[in-house]
Amino acid sequence: MSLGDLRMPSNRYDVIVVGGGPAGVSAAKSSALTGAKTLLIERNQLIAALKPCGQAISKKTLETAGVKPVQGLVINEVSARVYAPNGRSVKIGETGYMINKTILLQEIAAQAAEHGAEIHVGEAFIDLKRRNGEVLVKTSRGEYSASIVIGADGYNSRVARNLGVQEKSEPIPTLQYLIAGCKPEAVDEIRIYLGNDLAPKGYAWMFPVSERIVEVGIGVRGAPLKPYMDKFIRKFGCELDGQIIDNRGAPVPVGGLISKYIFDGAILIGDAAGMVIPLTGGGIHSSIASGLAAGEVAGKASQEGDTSEKRLLEFNEKYKPWIDRIRKSLKALRILEELSDEDLNELAEVLEDRDIVDIANGLNVARVARKLMAHPRLAIKLAKPLLRS
Ligand SMILES: Cc1cc2nc3c(=O)[nH]c(=O)nc-3n(C[C@H](O)[C@H](O)[C@H](O)COP(=O)(O)OP(=O)(O)OC[C@H]3O[C@@H](n4cnc5c(N)ncnc54)[C@H](O)[C@@H]3O)c2cc1C
């Protein structure tokens, strides 16, 4: 037993991270890296991607996570193709990965452990109380105290509720099937389908996992999911003719950041705070980035002895590029969701792959908007609103 152990009771931590998804494992890693005594609790019995997820990521996601694209983690290197309602498609040249998300989470958790984080699986957060600058945390297995709690417990965050947060980022309900024994046209291409007939105010996707297994998903707002899913599957006939071996859904927060996610002694990150790119619904990269930023800020602040909301606002500086991307992508979503199928078809004629990637991810939006100014209808419906700050 070290002197440090003698001074510090074993149930006292600098930082407690709740949730072992992309945001939580990343937060535990970066908090531990600062030297802070860090505990990660995950309610499931294992660190794994048990929530449904398309598992498609950009290559940069692994760079941000500090994880190598090793075999087993990467299922396939894939390009993407986006389909307009009339069937015209645009191939996105930049390739990304279909991954085994469980392995990604476990890799980051391994790094967190190597840096000294304690990880408890099968332990659920129950509630917290803030008292005299400390946070008292009750879980299904015990009670702890900490300087700071990071709530990375997903869309239905219990940490958020305990902090008195009523607001939730607007969700898009999704449904995803894993279809086995089917015949996807290509395993190295993921496909995304737009159109009000197909997926009103959302999109449908087909992400091949192997030559015989495909993830098929749909996100729709303001209408029931199942009939649209059935219709989407029928559209592809024998290509998707197989057996459904996984049938689950989950909300994706696409309404942007909630207004308050930093408190005295607490930060909410990832889906719990609406940190998803609204137009794509992609949240793995932005959640990992939020975890890395929050863990670093919390780790340092706890050791400095200042865990005030004011001190923790440093998170916003570190996460600013993502805050901007989420805001711009949300703006594009709000405009695009009002477009007719005819408008979307015209858009597919005009936009090149780089433009689609940029606008979806909230990057260089002004450049794309200026390009659309040359097309009278799109200028009014899309470009001008995009350029308005
Ligand atoms: C159908 C679907 C498809 C998607 N496809 C993609 C995609 O292809 N690419 C992409 O980038 N994004 C995708 N996303 C979004 C992505 O999955 C999420 O944005 C991302 O996982 C959010 O990470 P997180 O760590 O914030 O939350 P989560 O991944 O939800 O993790 C939260 C963790 O907290 C744990 N937890 C919850 N409550 C407690 C508690 N009380 N105590 C302890 N632990 C708790 C949970 O068990 C879980 O492990 C998809 C989402 C859905 C629903």
Helix-strand-coil split of the chain, %, nearest 5: 40, 30, 35
Which residue is closest in CA terms to ligand 1's atom 38? 153
Which of 156, 172, 271 is the best mutation target for the ligand 1 pocket, counting ligand atoms within 8 Å of the beta carbon and taking the most? 271
Does residue 321 carry a pLDDT above 60? yes
Does residue 384 carry a pLDDT above 90? no
For residues 76-102, average pLDDT: 93
DSSP β-bridge partners for residue 219: 174, 203
Q: What is the mean pLDDT of the chain?
A: 94
Which residue is closest in CA terms to ligand 1's atom 26? 270
295 pLDDT band (50/70/90 cuts)?
Answer: very high
Which of 30, 78, 153, 280 is the best mutation target for the ligand 1 pocket, counting ligand atoms within 8 Å of the beta carbon and taking the most? 153
CA of 95 to the centre of ligand 1 (A): 23
* Cα gap 136→145, rounded to integer Å: 4
pLDDT for the residue 360: 84
Does residue 7 carry a pLDDT above 70? no
169-217 residue pLDDT tens: 999 999 999 999 999 999 999 999 999 999 999 999 999 999 999 999 9
Report the b/e string of 13-47 with b at 16+ CB within 10 A: bbbbbbbbbbbbbbbbbbbbbbebbbbbbbbeeeb
For residues 131-156, average pLDDT: 96
Which residue is closest in CA terms to ligand 1's atom 4? 53
Which of 53, 59, 60, 209 is the best mutation target for the ligand 1 pocket, counting ligand atoms within 8 Å of the beta carbon and taking the most? 53
So where are the chain's domains? 3-51+102-169+255-318, 75-96+171-251, 328-387
For residues 296-307, average pLDDT: 98
pLDDT for the residue 237: 86
Which residue is closest in CA terms to ligand 1's atom 41? 125
377 pLDDT band (50/70/90 cuts)?
Answer: confident
pLDDT for the residue 345: 92
Is CATH 3.30.9.10 what the domain over 75-96+171-251 is classified as, yes or no? yes
pLDDT for the residue 120: 98
Is CATH 3.50.50.60 what the domain over 3-51+102-169+255-318 is classified as, yes or no? yes
Atom of ligand 1 nearest to the CA of 285: 11
Does residue 4 carry a pLDDT above 60? no
Quote the strand ranges of 202-242, DSSP E: 203-208, 213-219
For residues 306-328, average pLDDT: 97
- Are the C-beta atoms of 15 and 302 separated by less than 8 Å? yes
34-43 residue pLDDT tens: 999 999 999 9
Does residue 1 carry a pLDDT above 70? no
* Cα gap 207→22, rounded to integer Å: 20
Cα–Cα distances (Å) from 316 to 24, 198, 223, 286, in that order, read 17, 37, 35, 13
389 pLDDT band (50/70/90 cuts)?
Answer: low
Per the model's pLDDT, the better-predicted residue between 338 and 108 turns out to be 108
* Cα gap 280→100, rounded to integer Å: 19
For residues 107-124, average pLDDT: 98
Does residue 137 carry a pLDDT above 90? yes
For residues 280-286, average pLDDT: 96
CA of 42 to the centre of ligand 1 (A): 12
* Cα gap 169→275, rounded to integer Å: 9
pLDDT for the residue 9: 54
- Are the C-beta atoms of 238 and 232 separated by less than 8 Å? no
Pocket of ligand 1 (CB under 6 A): 18-24, 41-44, 51-57, 124-125, 152-154, 158, 174, 176, 217, 250, 252, 270-272, 276, 281-285, 287
Query: Which of 15, 57, 292 minimizes the C-alpha distance to 190?
Result: 57
pLDDT for the residue 387: 85
Which of 29, 47, 51 is the best mutation target for the ligand 1 pocket, counting ligand atoms within 8 Å of the beta carbon and taking the most? 51
